[in-house]
Structure 1
Amino acid sequence: MTPQVLVLQHVPWEKPGRILTNLEDLGLDYQILNIVDEKKPDLPSFDEVAGVVIMGGPMGAADYDRHPGLKAEAKLARAAVAVNKPVLGVCLGHQIIATALGAKLHRGEAPEIGFGPIKRVDQHDYFSMWDKQIDVLHWHNDVVGLPESAQLLARSNATKVQAFRAGSALGLQFHLEVTASLLEEWLAEPSMVKDLKAAGGSKSQLREDFERCNPLLEPFAEQVFSGFAVRCRNYAQGLAKAEEEKAPKDPVIS
C-alpha cells in the first residue's frame, strides 16, 4: 500500500485548508478521519502512515470522558515522535501533541480570538523567512506549557507557547491553514460566531483583518506547510524503500 498522511479532524468546519494543498502539490496520498468520539478507532496501520496532522476543535485536549478518541490521538502523536514520523498539530492538535509529550494544559486567562501578533522566539527552518513579529489568526481558550526538550518557536502576550518543535513534531496554537473560503465556513458556524462575539469581535472586522494580514500569511503558511509536506514525502520514500528491501527477490538464473 502507498504510504499516506493521516489527517485527524474533530469538527466539520475545522478543515486542513492550506495543509492539504501542500500535500497535494507533492502528490502525497492522505486520509481524513474523525475518531474523536470512538473508544477503539479503526486507524490505518501505523507502518503505512507517512505523517500525522491533528486539527483544531472546540473540545479540551484532555476531555477523554466525553471524547475518548482524543486518548488514541495522543498515543498516536507520542508513537510518531518516537520513530521520527512527521507530526503537525493546529490549535487543539498543538495541545494534544504537547500534553502527549508531558506538557501541562490549562485554561488561558481570557479567550484569544481574532488576529493578533505572535513574536518569533527562536529560528528554525520552518520559521526562517518572517521577521520577529507577524499577525496571525487566533481562536482558543486553553493553553499549554512547553514539552521537555522542545524548542519554543513563537509566543504572544497572552500565550507563552504559540509554536514549538519537539523532535519530528511541530505544534501551532494559531491558524495558518485558514483560507478566505474556509474563513467563510467558520463564520457560517453558529458556535464560532458565538465565540467571536463573546470575545468582542465581529464578522466584518475579522474579514477586514484577514484581507489585511493574508498577503503576509500566505507565504508564511506556504513555507511551514510545504516544509511539513517535504518531511512527509521523505518519510514515505523511506517506508517504500524499506518495503522494497523486505520483498522477496527473484532467483538469479545463470
Structure 2
Amino acid sequence: MTAQVLVLQHVPWEKPGRIVTAFDEIGLGYQILNIVDEKKPDLPAFDELAGVVIMGGPMGATDYDRHPGLKAEAKLARAAIAVNKPVLGVCLGHQIIATALGAKLHRGERPEIGFGPIKRVDKHDYFSMWDKQIDVLHWHNDVVGLPEGAQLLARSEATKVQAFRAGSALGLQFHLEVGSALLEEWLDEPSMVKDLKAAGGSKSQLREQFARCNPLIHPLADQVFTGFAARCNSYARAIDKRAEESRPKDPVIS
C-alpha cells in the first residue's frame, strides 16, 4: 500500500501518541511533518494522502503572520473534506479545521487545563460506547464555534464545542491521544508546566488524575482512533486500486 496518512505536528511534545498506535496496528503508513513556520511547505502529493491528522500546539489557529504554515494546513483541511478524505484535528488541530470551515476563534473565559468532564451532545459511531459524561484531559485557552452544517458531539461547562463532525472531519478539543509516556513528556516541558501551574494544577495532581481517569479514557481513545484508522485504510485501498487500474497493461503476446 503506497497511500499514507499525513500527520501535522506543531511542537516536539504534542505528538500523535495513541493515534499512530492505531495506524501501526493495521499496518497503515504515515508521515509526520512540521510545516507550521513554512510559507510554501513541501507536502506529499494530495492524491496520495489516505487521511490528514492535525495535532495540537501553543499557537493560535489563525496566527498566520507568525506561523504561515497554519494557512497551508487550513487549506489542506478544506481540500481533504471536500473530497471526503478522513481528517482528524486535536486541540489546535480541532480549531484549525473549524476556522477553515468558517467558524470563529476566540479566547475562552478561562484556561481549561487538567482533567474535567465533557458531556456527549449527540451520538456517533466514533463514540458509540461513550457514556453521557466522561472526564478527559484538557489543555487549551482558545475555543471555536461550530462550523455551519457540522454535528456537535460534545461540550463542557467552559467550552461549547468540545467535539464535532463535519463531513469527513472529526474535531476533538481534548486529548485522547495522551498515554502515560506522552504525559510524562508534557510534564518535562517547561512551557506546559508553566501553563499547568498558572491554572492552579501541579504535576503530582495531574498524575493522580490520569491514573484515576485513564481506565475509562483508554478504551474510548482506542475506539475513536481505530475507527479513524479504518476510514483512512479504506481510503488508502481506494487510492491504490485507482493507481493499479490506471497503470498501462502489458500487451498480450500470442
TM-score exceeds 0.5: yes
SS at match of 1:73: helix
Aligned residues: 254
Question: After the TM superposition, which residues 79-98 of structure 1 pair with which residues of structure 2 at under 5 Å, given as runs?
Answer: 79-98=79-98
Aligned to 2:121: 121
Aligned to 1:212: 212
2:227 aligned partner, one-letter code: G
Aligned to 1:26: 26
Aligned to 1:133: 133
Distance 1:127 1:144 in 2: 21
1:87 aligned partner, one-letter code: V
Distance 1:174 1:26 in 2: 25
Question: After the TM superposition, which residues 151-230 of structure 1 pair with which residues of structure 2 at under 5 Å, given as runs?
Answer: 151-230=151-230
SS at match of 1:44: coil
Deviation at 1:249, TM superposition (A): 1.2
Distance 2:125 2:253 in 1: 50
SS at match of 1:218: helix
Aligned to 1:237: 237
Aligned to 2:55: 55
Distance 1:7 1:106 in 2: 25
SS at match of 1:28: coil
1:209-242 deviation per Cα after TM superposition (whole angstroms, max 9, x unaligned): 0000000001000000000000000000000011
Spell out structure 1 runs of 4+ moving beyond 4 A.
none
Distance 1:43 1:135 in 2: 36
1:178 aligned partner, one-letter code: V
SS at match of 1:134: strand
Deviation at 1:118, TM superposition (A): 0.3
Deviation at 1:252, TM superposition (A): 2.8
Distance 1:133 1:242 in 2: 42
Distance 1:85 1:131 in 2: 28
1:22-79 deviation per Cα after TM superposition (whole angstroms, max 9, x unaligned): 0010101110000000000000000111000000000000000000000000000000
Distance 1:49 1:56 in 2: 20
Question: After the TM superposition, which residues 68-107 of structure 1 pair with which residues of structure 2 at under 5 Å, given as runs?
Answer: 68-107=68-107
1:139-195 deviation per Cα after TM superposition (whole angstroms, max 9, x unaligned): 000000000110000000000000000000000000000010100000010000000
SS at match of 2:97: helix
SS at match of 1:41: coil
Distance 1:165 1:88 in 2: 10
Aligned to 1:44: 44
Gaps of 5+ in 1: none
Aligned to 1:67: 67
Distance 1:219 1:183 in 2: 17
Distance 1:48 1:193 in 2: 39
